[in-house]
């Protein structure tokens, strides 16, 4: 409903004023709606339980949403720039700028509220698709602020060239955002590691077991949509019993799960061949 209201307000603002920069803003909001709809579909797919064909789940589906939205943004940016360049060489007077700006400001306020809500939901649910949609909406907010500022200057100075120049700037700005979304989607499909602060916390938790002659090697992490994976080899003193080894594995897995809730954690037990008290080089 928020997306539909935003598109309606921005389209009305463009129709009243004839401003190409407001048209560019409305086109971006239309892309937002298409991207958000596709993201919702992908999020529903990620919630499908793992099956025989997809034993690790369907988490990567979210990255298709980010890539799809990025491609849509790039396409909209090209259309915006082409239209703006044409208007730059064929300027037209604008009408009812004040009323148009009022509709634009209202739509911007709606977008800001939705972007903040999506950002919080994305952080809470560890969702790439929601985070991507939030970033896109926030880009739309700043785009609208730039458009409003440009039209205010035009209203004061009467410089008609400002309108298409602002539209070109909007197009270039969202090209950058589209590139970032596509790059983020590609990185996700390539099994990127967990972010730095998570990795540091994991390493710190594992290092804490060194006082008990327990070390580790081959720590590997990756993220597939909402699911995180942690794999590590745990080395214990050779004289330990199997029971002692598995007890410490349970403790390690519990600590890692507290750092990365819901993670798929795989630990492998191995005997240490070094002398007691000597850390294994990773």
CATH of the domain at 230: 3.30.70.1350
CA–CA separation, 22 and 148 (whole Å): 8
From the centroid of its chain, how far is CA 23? 26
Domain that holds residue 223: 196-272
Angle between helices 162-189 and 61-89 (to 10 degrees): 160
Q: What is the pLDDT of residue 128?
A: 64
Taking residues 184-198, report their average pLDDT: 75
pLDDT tens by residue, 221-279: 987 766 788 999 999 998 999 999 999 999 999 999 999 988 889 999 999 876 454 44
Taking residues 98-104, report their average pLDDT: 81
Q: What is the pTM of this model?
A: 0.56
Q: What is the pLDDT of residue 277?
A: 45
Checking if the pLDDT of 139 tops 70, the result is yes
The residue out of 147, 170, 189 marking a domain boundary is: 189
Matching residue, tokens 């590590």: 232
CA–CA separation, 215 and 272 (whole Å): 8
pLDDT band for position 280 (cuts 50, 70, 90): very low
pLDDT, the chain, mean: 80
Angle between helices 242-259 and 196-207 (to 10 degrees): 150
CA–CA separation, 82 and 66 (whole Å): 25
Q: What is the pLDDT of residue 85?
A: 86
Those residues whose C-beta lies under 8 Å from the C-beta of residue 142, and which sit 6 or more positions away, are 173
Note whether 47 and 131 are same-domain residues: yes
Matching residue, tokens 């919080």: 120
Note whether 26 and 105 are same-domain residues: yes
């Amino acid at each position: 409903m928020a997306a539909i209201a935003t598109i309606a307000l921005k389209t009305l603002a463009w129709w009243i004023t004839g401003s190409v920069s407001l048209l560019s803003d409305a086109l971006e909001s239309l892309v937002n709606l298409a991207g958000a709809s596709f993201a919702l579909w992908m999020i529903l797919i990620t919630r499908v339980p793992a099956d025989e064909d997809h034993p690790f789940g369907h988490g990567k589906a979210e990255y298709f949403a980010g890539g799809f939205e990025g491609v849509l943004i790039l396409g909209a940016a090209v259309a915006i720039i082409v239209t703006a360049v044409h208007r730059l060489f064929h300027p037209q007077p604008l009408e009812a700028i004040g009323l148009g700006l009022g509709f634009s400001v209202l739509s911007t306020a709606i977008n800001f509220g939705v972007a903040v809500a999506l950002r919080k939901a994305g952080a809470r649910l560890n969702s790439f698709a929601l985070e991507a949609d939030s970033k896109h909406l926030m880009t739309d907010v700043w785009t609208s602020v730039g458009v409003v500022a440009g039209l205010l200057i035009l209203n004061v100075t009467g410089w008609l060239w400002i309108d298409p120049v602002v539209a070109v700037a909007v197009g270039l700005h969202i090209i950058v955002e589209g590139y970032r979304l596509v790059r983020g989607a590609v990185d996700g499909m390539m099994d990127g590691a967990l972010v730095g602060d998570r990795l540091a916390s994991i390493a710190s938790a594992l290092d804490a077991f060194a006082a008990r002659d327990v070390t580790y090697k081959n720590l590997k992490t990756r993220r597939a949509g909402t699911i995180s994976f942690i794999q590590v080899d745990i080395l214990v003193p050779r004289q330990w019993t199997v029971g002692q080894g598995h007890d410490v594995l349970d403790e390690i897995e519990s600590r890692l799960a507290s750092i990365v809730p819901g993670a798929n954690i795989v630990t492998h037990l191995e005997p240490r061949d070094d002398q007691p008290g000597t850390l294994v080089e990773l």
